[in-house]
């Protein structure tokens, strides 16, 4: 499902004129705050959510909040690979350009659940969905170059110091935090290897830690943990999406709008390639 709208020009402080930006998981939390900030700056934003009614309410809310026209809306359940592919197809059928893809959608599952594709839910939504969506949209991103891919990761990845490849999806033992941390670790190594694979294409790929943000997901997972407002948690996503300061910067992990080192294990090429091949096998996407 998609609804179309136009948008005004961006201020000259941005590196791209009239950027078209897709923000996944943008009907709540960090994603909605990211979309609002980008809309306020004049970008043409495509928001995404799972529920059409909620998405339409957010369209109206963002229009009223930003004083801009309603953002476009895509509906898809990212735990379902067929719907991820349909989301990409819906976008490709309506747009001839995509300047920025922000892989923001995520989940934290207290109990192990399996998707319709037979994949553990956290691994499916947090890692396989951005892997599949990015690959599906990569030809358009390359055509639109210079363009950017931004993925929301987490410092949770630092708790991953080894991989039990036989328990990658919690098949033998499920711990919600460990599973979440592995999925965010996978987002980071995907970014690093993707940046190498697309080097010279005009497309950059970076990832980030948004901070501990007061979102519905945090309140569900850790009710007593304090968090920063979503508007603050969105700052690094917005920075990586449109700031001229990072034009041409690729393959980096950012925290508080600064490039920082992720954990040592994320730079292990063998781990990077094995996680990539796992995603290829499950999503049935061929190698670049």
Q: Catalytic: which of 95, 127, 180, 192?
A: 180
Residue given tokens 């850790």 in the structure block: 222
CA 152, distance to chain mean position in Å, is 5
Rg of the chain's alpha carbons, rounded to an integer?
17
* 267 is known as an active-site residue: no
Query: How many whole angstroms separate alpha carbon 115 and alpha carbon 96?
Result: 32
Query: How many whole angstroms separate alpha carbon 259 and alpha carbon 2?
Result: 35
Query: How many whole angstroms separate alpha carbon 49 and alpha carbon 28?
Result: 9
3-class DSSP state for residue 198? coil
Query: How many whole angstroms separate alpha carbon 72 and alpha carbon 137?
Result: 17
Query: How many whole angstroms separate alpha carbon 73 and alpha carbon 57?
Result: 11
**152 strand-pairing partners:** 208
Decide: 20 and 207 in contact? Cβ < 8 Å.
no
Residue given tokens 């943000």 in the structure block: 213
**Preceding omega of 30 cis (within 30 degrees of 0):** no
Helix, strand, coil abundance in the chain, percent, nearest 5: 45, 15, 40
Where in the sequence numbering do the catalytic residues fall? 180
């Amino acid at each position: 499902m998609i609804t179309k709208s136009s948008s005004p020009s961006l201020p000259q402080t941005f590196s791209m004129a009239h950027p078209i930006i897709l923000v996944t998981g943008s009907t709540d939390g960090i994603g909605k705050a990211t979309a609002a900030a980008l809309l306020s700056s004049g970008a043409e934003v495509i928001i995404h959510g799972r529920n059409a009614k909620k998405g339409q309410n957010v369209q109206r809310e963002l229009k009223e909040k930003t004083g801009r026209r309603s953002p476009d809306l895509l509906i898809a359940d990212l735990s379902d690979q067929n719907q991820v592919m349909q989301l990409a197809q819906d976008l490709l059928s309506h747009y001839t350009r995509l300047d920025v893809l922000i892989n923001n959608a995520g989940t934290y599952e207290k109990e192990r659940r399996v998707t319709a594709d037979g994949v553990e839910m956290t691994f499916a939504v947090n890692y396989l969905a951005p892997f599949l969506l990015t690959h599906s949209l990569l030809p358009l991103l390359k055509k639109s170059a210079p363009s950017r891919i931004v993925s929301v990761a987490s410092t949770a990845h630092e708790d991953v110091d080894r991989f039990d490849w036989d328990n990658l999806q919690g098949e033998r033992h499920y711990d919600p935090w460990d599973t979440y941390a592995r999925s965010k670790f996978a987002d980071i190594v995907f970014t690093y290897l993707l940046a190498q694979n697309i080097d010279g294409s005009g497309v950059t790929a970076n990832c980030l830690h948004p901070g501990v943000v007061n979102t519905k997901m945090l309140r569900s997972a850790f009710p007593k943990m304090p968090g920063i407002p979503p508007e603050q948690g969105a700052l690094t996503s917005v920075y990586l999406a449109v700031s001229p300061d990072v034009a041409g910067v690729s393959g980096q992990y950012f925290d508080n709008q600064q490039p920082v080192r992720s954990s040592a294990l994320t730079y292990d090429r063998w781990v990077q390639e094995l996680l990539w091949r796992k995603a290829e096998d499950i999503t049935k996407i061929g190698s670049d």
